[in-house]
Amino acid sequence: MNDTFLKACRGEKTDYTPIWMMRQAGRYLPEYQKVRGNVTFLELCKSPELCVEVTLQPIDILGMDAAILFSDILILMEAMGAPLDFHEGKGPIFATTIRDAKALDMLVIPDPDEATGFVMETIRLLRKELKVPLIGFAGAPFTCATYLIEGGSSKTFWETKKLMYTQPELFHALMEKITEATILYLQAQARAGAQALQLFDSWAGVLAPCDFEEFAFPYITRILASLKSYDIPLIYFANNGATLLDYSVRSGADVIGLDWRINIKDAIAKVGKKAVQGNIDPFALLLPKDKLKSRIQNLLNDARGAHGHIFNLGHGIHQFTPPAQAKLAVELVHELSAR
């Protein structure tokens, strides 16, 4: 059992710096494409055997030190009653949007073992196979809310901010509901065997700090507090979150995920006795070998003072990344950080 990742999360000494990559199971791998060629994305998410297969791919092929459950943050939104579809090239689409009290009333707080039993089954199956720790996850409430309110991805978040500013009670009521569902969902993942849990807040960075504090932060702290008793590392990743770092530190997370826009040394100076995860620009995987090597070396040097460092990208791996480059990065991190 390779528990380097868990040790780093706890700030313990490790033989080398562990690495995994956000969105490490996915379209950049031909092996994933092959599985995905026979099923839709949602069918894949709901088939535990196939989820196990694609979760294992980046471990077996690239040598990652942690596995992340193959699923999607929007699976829980669908289980709450929001009809979800994924369109090729367009990303997620919700047929109905949540912008008024009537739509909000239609959302339910599902029993995670019933409504998302396939996720829990995937976790149980993976734990029998894996020789590295398994990370479970959910979307942070604000990020999930943007998809429900906009009906999909957005560039401006016009509808989200309109609801937030003009109907704050309704916005908070939606956040409450997502938060309750997320707590039950992540607790079920921990019971099923997840050995760490990550909250993905992909869109936190579009909020002013004062709005983040009022509309997003209280829900994150509530979720993380509800998971403390499971005694597994909790990771909070706010994408584009350099301006929100103080909140991440106070969120209750054990590990602070960092995107690439902040120098990891500056972040470490602020997080105190917490581990950090990150934070190379995902596109830096395109660098030629010598440049990638010095880039990784510099990051490892900058992270030397960390109370635990898990090497990762600053956001998800891009779908056109050559797998050989991802593999090279894994090898370089292992080689250059060996103690």
Ligand X SMILES: Cc1c2[nH]c(c1CCC(=O)O)Cc1[nH]c(c(CCC(=O)O)c1C)Cc1[nH]c(c(CCC(=O)O)c1C)Cc1[nH]c(c(C)c1CCC(=O)O)C2
Query: Does residue 74 bind ligand X (CB under 6 A)?
Result: yes
Q: Does 22 bind ligand X (CB under 6 A)?
A: yes
Nearer to ligand X, 41 or 230 (CB): 41
Of the ranges 2-10, 18-26, 97-105, 293-301, which one interacts with ligand X (CB under 6 A)?
18-26
Least distance from C-beta 294 to ligand X, angstroms?
27
Asked if 179 touches ligand X (CB under 6 A), the answer is: no
Determine the distance from the C-alpha atom of residue 240 to the mean position of all C-alpha atoms in its chain, rounded to a whole number. 13
Between CA 57 and CA 25 the distance in angstroms is 7
Residue 295 assigned to a binding site: no
In b/e form, how buried is each residue of 299-322, taking b as 16+ CB within 10 angstroms? bbebbeebebbbbbbbbbbeeebe
**Contact status, residue 247 vs residue 213, Cβ threshold 8 Å:** yes
Known binding residue 26? Answer is yes
In the residue annotation, 111 being an active-site residue is answered as: no
Residue with tokens 């429900």, as numbered in its chain: 148
137 binds ligand X (CB under 6 A): yes
Active site residue 23: yes
**27 belongs to the catalytic site:** yes
CA separation for the pair 79, 109 (Å, rounded): 8
Is 23 known as a binding-site position? yes
Residue nearest to ligand X (CB): 202
- Strand arrangement, sheet containing 309-313: 67-68, 134-139, 196-201, 234-238, 255-257, 275-280, 309-313
Chain residues binding ligand X by CB under 6 A are 22-27, 36, 41, 68, 70-74, 86, 91-92, 137, 153, 200, 202, 239, 316
Bind-site residues: 23-27, 72, 147, 202, 315
Catalytic residues: 23, 27, 36, 72, 147
